[in-house]
């Protein structure tokens, strides 16, 4: 690129290009976004490297001591610095369970978003590009599913899977069932957005140009249309991640999510809830705060991304 | 065909269209139609078109917006399936190319240049990939190096630089984008180019450059053009033959010079009246009366009769058939009956593409 006589203003490498872009500028200009990005990054980092970050391993029975049970947070009278946020009824360190819990929550959230994105974007592309009866079937399916609250759909799928699976597999498979349930409950939103954007793109002349030379429709959809509809889908996916984490927490809170042996944030809140009235408030409060902070920061990031990618607001 | 091939190359029809029609179903959905008791509505965008394009020549279709010119372009390159009629390319019916190999062999030989240079290039692709798409689809090169060389040569050919291939379409102006479009169209070495208003989205000075480029390329590669435009002045300097369309039908087909100097059809005369001309500034103009009627519900008889100053009862009830008259093919009762006053026009003086 350096031998380009006209490209005097073109930045030299990828890092420069990113630092020079409109999106990065709008990111730096919004303190709320920077803070939520940092918070979200801390969560992602802690979740990814939980075994190294967490002070204790809360799921190794050998390290647990029932004598430590119900230790309050470090700043309370009976607290110890060994357990900064206190311990639960089995003597597990709350901070560590939160780190491991957000790991489960985020794995479920990311996988569910990816799953519903693949289904939704795939069906939306087909519906928008092919139109006709394919579109009618896909979009009516989406409409019908949207009349039922997503959480009920997820509950139903979870319930059905629970009955179908043999008992010894239930706990093992719980996380996959959860991903499936949340993923399926959320695909219509992706399908709708993708279809709408595809309808616009498919009538553009670059698609006609590809059709004139006889490019296969599937190839046109994937290499021409898909890259041009991904903008709004990515915004939806960011907000969808926050929603998926909440849905997972709700399901786990209701007791149909992941088992207590591998708790997510939702499970932690539910378990801690039992001790709220006996005065051990920290067991449920800190996981709740973690959930709120995580979801809020991801949501704020999504909001910013939506505005940043919207050319009308630039 | 056999005796024609004896004569010079340019008299052999490359493309022959007979009774071409495209009808669109624009009715409401089935349920709504049943509830309201409405009829099916058919839009006859193109209805019984006939023309030939000889090798190495330019045939232009002109007409007002909504007369079906672009639909003809799309029909010819296969973006729409005709409702009726036959398109023959080098004497072979295009609809007979069923197999993938057959249709690829045909598609390789024609290309299309589009109207809107801002929509015809995929914004997420680099220019070199855009231009190379036909090369890749038809498997015209063996190696990546060869492809890069070919793209560079094409970019130079259309007046851009080979390094421009690294850029994205948004880094170019409208005229430059149209050059990229042309480079893409040329990349599969086609013989026949369908140009759907390639200059209408550009400003006048850039229009001239693009038209000149297209003329040069035609000379260099012996290309055949089907040129769609609403701009008569543009068409005059580029075309060998011109067809004037009105509401999905051809009303007059003639050699470019003939059509401009001795127009036969009243609609052609009306269009020629409207060409702006520096020398004639301030002269009285006959304003174009009326609008193009709704093609869903076209007027009976000759579709042009509500706007025609020479219409009589026959025009209002009977559709005219195209007939040959002193080198023009004209579909008009008044011209056939000799009811039209003689009219001569001056061809546009300044070449637009200069």
Residue-wise DSSP of A101-163: HHHHHHHHHHHHHHHHHHHHHHHHHHHHHH-HHHHHHHHHHHHHHHTS-HHHHHHHHHHHHHH
As a whole number of angstroms, the distance between CA B308 and CA B299 comes to 12
pLDDT of residue B280: 61
Q: H or E stretch including A268?
A: helix A265-273
Task: Establish how many alpha carbons lie within 13 A of residue A298's alpha carbon, considering only the half-sphere containing its beta carbon.
Answer: 24
Q: Rounded to two decimals, what is the model's pTM?
A: 0.82
Which residues of B sit within 8 Å Cβ distance of A? 74, 77-79, 100, 103-104, 107-108, 110-112, 114-116, 119-124, 130, 133-134, 137-138, 161, 163, 166, 181, 184, 188
Question: Which of A1, A5, A206 comes nearest B119 by C-beta?
Answer: A206
CB contact under 8 A, B163 and A228: no
What's the CATH number where A50 sits?
Answer: 1.10.3720.10
Sheet holding B13-25, edge to edge: B42-54, B13-25, B84-89, B92-93
Integer-rounded Cα Rg, in Å, for chain B is 22
Task: Calculate how close chain A gets to B271, using CA atoms only, in Å.
Answer: 29
Contacts of B115 in chain A (CB under 8 A): 205
Any domain includes A76: yes
| A8 domain-assigned | no
Does A4 map to a domain? no
**CA–CA dist B347, A227 (Å, integer):** 48
Instruction: Report how far residue A268's alpha carbon sits from residue A138's, in angstroms, rounded to the nearest whole number.
Output: 38
* CA pseudo-torsion sign A161, A163, A169, A170: positive
Helix or strand (DSSP H, E) at B215 = helix B204-221
- Return the structure tokens found at A310: 């919207």
Task: Select the residue from A202, A203, A212, A222 to test the B interface by mutation, using most B Cβ atoms within 10 A.
Answer: A212
Residues 209-248 of A with CB under 8 A from B: 209-215, 224, 227-228
Q: Is A106 a domain residue?
A: yes
Q: With CB atoms and an 8 Å threshold, state whether B79 touches A209.
A: no
Would you say how long chain B is, in residues?
354
ipTM of the complex: 0.85
pLDDT along chain B (354 residues), means of 10: 40 86 87 84 89 93 88 92 92 86 88 92 92 92 91 94 91 93 94 92 88 92 93 86 92 91 89 73 65 82 87 89 88 87 73 45
User: CA-to-CA distance for B298 and B83, rounded, in angstroms?
Assistant: 18
Distance between CA atoms of residues B16 and B91, nearest Å: 7
Which pLDDT does position B203 carry in this prediction? 87
A212/B77 touch (CB, cutoff 8 Å), yes or no: yes
Nearest to B273 by CA among B200, B344, B353, B352: B344
The DSSP bridge partners found for residue B163 are none
* Assigned domain for A283 exists: yes
Ranges in chain A, pLDDT < 70: 1-12, 310-314
Q: Please tell me what DSSP assigns to residue B307.
A: G
CB B272, CB B345: distance < 8 Å: yes
CB B211 within 8 A of CB B241: no
Domain residue limits at A170 = 21-313
In a domain, A105, yes or no: yes
Residues A248, A257 contacting (CB under 8 angstroms): yes
8 Å CB contact between B138 and B188: yes
User: From the CA of A273, how many Å to the nearest CA of chain B?
Assistant: 50
Q: What does each C-alpha distance from A173 to A161, A164, A179, A237, B54 come to in angstroms?
A: 9, 11, 10, 25, 70
Strand partners, B54: B13
Chain A with chain B: Cβ pairs closer than 8 A: 61
pLDDT of residue A167: 83
In a domain, A259, yes or no: yes
The domain tally of chain A equals 1
In a domain, A256, yes or no: yes
The CA distance from A307 to A25, in Å, is: 13
pLDDT at B3: 38
Query: Does the beta-carbon distance from B137 to A213 stay under 8 Å?
Result: yes
Nearest CA in chain B to A204: B119
Which of B94, B122, B184 to probe the A interface (max A CBs under 10 A)? B122
Q: At what angle are helices A226-253 and A265-273 packed, to 10 degrees? A: 20
> Which residues lie across from B245 on neighbouring strands?
B250
Residues B165, B151 contacting (CB under 8 angstroms)? yes
Q: Quick one: DSSP state of residue A260?
A: T
Strand stretches in B94-206, DSSP E: 110-113, 192-196
């Amino acid at each position: 690129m350096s031998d380009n006589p006209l490209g005097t203003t073109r930045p030299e490498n990828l890092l420069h290009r990113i630092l020079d872009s409109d999106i990065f500028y709008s990111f730096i200009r919004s303190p709320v976004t920077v803070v939520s990005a940092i918070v979200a990054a801390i969560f992602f980092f802690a979740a990814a490297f939980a075994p190294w970050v967490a002070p204790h391993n809360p799921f190794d029975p050998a390290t647990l001591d029932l004598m430590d049970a119900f230790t309050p947070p470090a700043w309370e009278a009976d607290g110890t610095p060994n357990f900064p946020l206190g311990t639960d009824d089995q003597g597990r360190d709350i901070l560590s369970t939160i780190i491991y819990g957000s790991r489960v929550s985020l794995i479920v959230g990311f996988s569910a978003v990816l799953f519903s994105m693949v289904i939704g974007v795939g069906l939306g592309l087909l519906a928008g590009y092919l139109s006709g009866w394919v579109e009618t079937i896909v979009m009516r399916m989406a409409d019908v599913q949207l009349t039922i609250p997503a959480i009920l759909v997820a509950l139903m799928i979870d319930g059905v899977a629970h009955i179908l699976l043999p008992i010894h597999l239930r706990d093992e498979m719980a996380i996959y069932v959860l991903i499936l349930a949340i993923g399926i409950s959320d695909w219509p939103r992706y399908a709708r957005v993708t279809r709408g954007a595809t309808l616009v793109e498919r009538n553009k002349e670059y698609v006609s140009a590809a059709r004139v030379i006889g490019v296969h429709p599937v190839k046109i959809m994937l290499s021409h249309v898909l890259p041009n509809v991904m903008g709004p889908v990515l915004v939806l996916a960011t907000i969808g991640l926050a929603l998926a984490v909440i849905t997972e927490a709700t399901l786990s809170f209701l007791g149909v999510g992941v088992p207590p042996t591998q708790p997510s944030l939702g499970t932690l809140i539910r378990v801690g809830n039992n001790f709220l009235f006996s005065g051990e408030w920290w067991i449920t409060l800190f996981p709740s705060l973690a959930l709120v902070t995580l979801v809020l920061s991801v949501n704020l990031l999504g909001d910013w991304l939506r505005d940043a990618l919207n050319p009308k607001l630039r | 065909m056999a005796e024609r091939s004896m004569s010079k190359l340019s008299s052999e029809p490359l493309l022959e269209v007979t009774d071409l029609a495209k009808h669109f179903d624009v009715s409401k959905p089935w349920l709504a139609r049943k509830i309201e008791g409405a009829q099916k509505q058919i839009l006859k965008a193109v209805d019984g078109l006939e023309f030939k394009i000889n090798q190495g020549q330019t045939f232009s279709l002109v007409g007002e917006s909504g007369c079906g010119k672009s639909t003809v372009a799309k029909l010819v390159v296969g973006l729409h399936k005709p409702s009726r009629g036959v398109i023959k390319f080098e004497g072979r019916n295009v609809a007979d190319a069923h197999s993938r190999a057959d249709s690829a062999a045909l598609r390789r030989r024609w290309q299309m240049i589009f109207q809107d240079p801002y929509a015809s290039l995929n914004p997420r692709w680099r220019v070199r990939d855009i231009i190379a798409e036909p090369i890749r689809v038809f498997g015209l090169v063996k190696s990546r190096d060869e492809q890069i060389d070919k793209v560079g040569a094409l970019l130079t050919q259309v007046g851009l630089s080979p390094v421009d291939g690294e850029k994205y379409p948004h880094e170019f102006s409208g005229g430059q984008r149209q050059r990229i479009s042309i480079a893409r169209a040329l990349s599969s070495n086609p013989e026949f180019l369908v140009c759907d208003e390639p200059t209408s989205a550009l400003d006048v000075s850039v229009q001239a450059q693009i038209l000149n480029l297209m003329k040069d390329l035609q000379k260099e590669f012996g290309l055949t053009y089907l040129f769609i435009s609403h701009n008569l002045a543009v068409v005059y300097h580029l075309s060998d033959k011109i067809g004037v369309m009105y509401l999905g039908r051809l009303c007059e087909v003639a050699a470019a010079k003939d059509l401009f100097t001795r127009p036969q059809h009243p609609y052609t005369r009306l269009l020629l009246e409207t060409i702006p001309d520096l020398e004639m500034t301030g002269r009285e103009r006959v304003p174009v009366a009326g609008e193009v009627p709704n093609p869903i519900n076209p007027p009976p008889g000759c579709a042009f009769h509500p706007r025609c100053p020479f219409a009589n009862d026959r025009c209002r009830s009977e559709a005219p058939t195209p007939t040959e008259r002193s080198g023009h093919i004209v579909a008009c009762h008044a011209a056939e009956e000799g009811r039209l006053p003689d009219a001569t026009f001056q061809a546009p003086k300044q070449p637009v593409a200069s």
